[in-house]
Structure 1
Amino acid sequence: MTSYTAFVTDSWLATGSHNHIVETLRDMPEIERASDILVFDDETGQQVDFDLRELEKESPAPKRGRPKLGVTSREVTLLPRHWEWLAKQPGGASAVLRKLVDAARKAGLPDRSKRDAAYHFLSAMAGDYPHFEESIRALYANDRARFETLTAKWPTAVRGHAVGLAWGE
């Protein structure tokens, strides 16, 4: 499930599902400028807009049985040598592919994707802050100590969220 984080100016407001963020925003007292509320996708760091008039509908539970388990038949294009190797594996091609996908998902996002997410977030939230450009260079150099030194005077919520996106904390 996708996670989002909402900020009001430079203060953290909420982190959670689409519906949690929408409900939190609905429950807020009215603020002078709606543009002070920013919501970010926690995987990409991209700013997103939510329609506060309705909640996201939850997808129905998958049905039981092979097609009822939610198994979707799709096409995979591989070379003959790949199909031959997969056919020799215990459980067959589908089992091996599922294991590979699950292992990749457990490994998490590659470091570059994490840095990119932090960059997208910081571009929207901290572009006018002191040492912004130097902190982005430190971010992509994976120099956390320098990043934290450069951003020490930034609002704690902004710095903390960027560190969490980039270094997983």
Structure 2
Amino acid sequence: MNTQMTYTAFLDEQCLASGLLVDVATAIQQYANQSNSTVLIFNDQTGKQIDLDVSGSKQDIQQRYAEPEMVKKVGRPKLGVISREITLQQKHWDWLDQQSSSASAVIRKLIDKELNDPNSESNKMLAKQATDRFMSAMLGNMPNYEEATRALYQGNKDVFLDLIRDYPKDIKEYLILKTQNIF
């Protein structure tokens, strides 16, 4: 399962950097100090904009945004399990009771299977919403924006691609990349 978040930064219509947060933050540091334009950074999975503090040295940025290193500890690993209550119908509990693993293990496997399937309906909807957030921030005033958004949600690839064909190159390429599993 790919749970690693990636980010993409744009300066006006130009894509500056894409990748892990620390790499994007390091790459945009020079632009943040040199340009009067605002650098917009997007979470690739959610389409939400984020703000970064790119002040200080390259080492400061790496310490601020680098993933914490995994430290090997002796003993049983902490699994990161969060206990919550769920409510199911009797037929669901009956089905879970017939499985060879515990109910929690079966539910985790089902969720992991869904998360790893980019073609599942729920993941397609999440991808549409993320693309819509990006489009709203970057293209809200562009021609064909509303029509392209409708085509996105309707799943009409040909109309969508036709409507975005005159958009700036980097934005169009980003949209095509983000919608590859939607249509």
TM-score where L is the length of structure 1: 0.84
RMSD: 2.4
Matched-pair contact (CA < 8 Å) for 1:118–1:163: no
- Segments of 5+ residues of structure 2 without an aligned counterpart are 56-60
Question: Are residues 5 and 131 of structure 1, via their aligned partners in 2, closer, same or farther at CA, if it must alter by over 3 Å?
Answer: same
Label 1:65 to 1:88 Cα distance change in 2 as closer, same or farther (>3 A): farther
Which sits farther off after the overlay, 17-26 or 125-134? 125-134
Query: 1:94, 1:113 → 2: CA distance?
Result: 24
Work out the CA distance in 1 between the residues paired with 2:144 and 2:160: 9
Cα gap change, 1:59 to 1:78, in 2 (>3 Å): farther
Q: Residue 100 of structure 2 corresponds to which residue in structure 1? A: 90
Aligned to 1:15: 18
Aligned partners of 2:5 and 2:43 also within 8 Å: yes
- 1:152 counterpart residue number: 165
Q: Which of 5, 29, 38 matches 2:40?
A: 38
The Cα of 1:103 is off from its aligned counterpart by: 0.2
2:53 to 40, 46, 51: 51
1:76 is matched by which residue type in structure 2?
A: E
Q: Which amino acid aligns with 1:91?
A: S
DSSP-derived class of the 2:70 partner: coil
Consecutive unaligned residues of structure 1, counting only runs of 5 or more, are none
Aligned to 1:25: 28
Q: Select which of 76, 83, 90 maps to 1:74.
A: 83
In 2, distance between residues paired with 1:99 and 1:50? 35
CA 1:60–1:4 in 2, change beyond 3 Å: closer, same or farther? same
**Aligned residues, how many?**
167
CA 1:64–1:76 in 2, change beyond 3 Å: closer, same or farther? Answer: farther
Instruction: Please say if residues 13 and 171 of structure 2, whose CA atoms lie closer than 8 Å, have aligned partners that are also in contact.
Output: yes
- After TM superposition, give the deviation of residue 59 of structure 1 in Å: 3.4
What is the identity percentage for the equivalent residue pairs of Structure 1 and Structure 2? 29
Paired position in structure 2 for 1:140 = 153
After TM superposition, the score normalised by the length of structure 2 is: 0.78
Q: Is the 8 A contact 1:5 1:15 kept in 2?
A: yes
Q: What displacement does 1:58 show?
A: 2.5
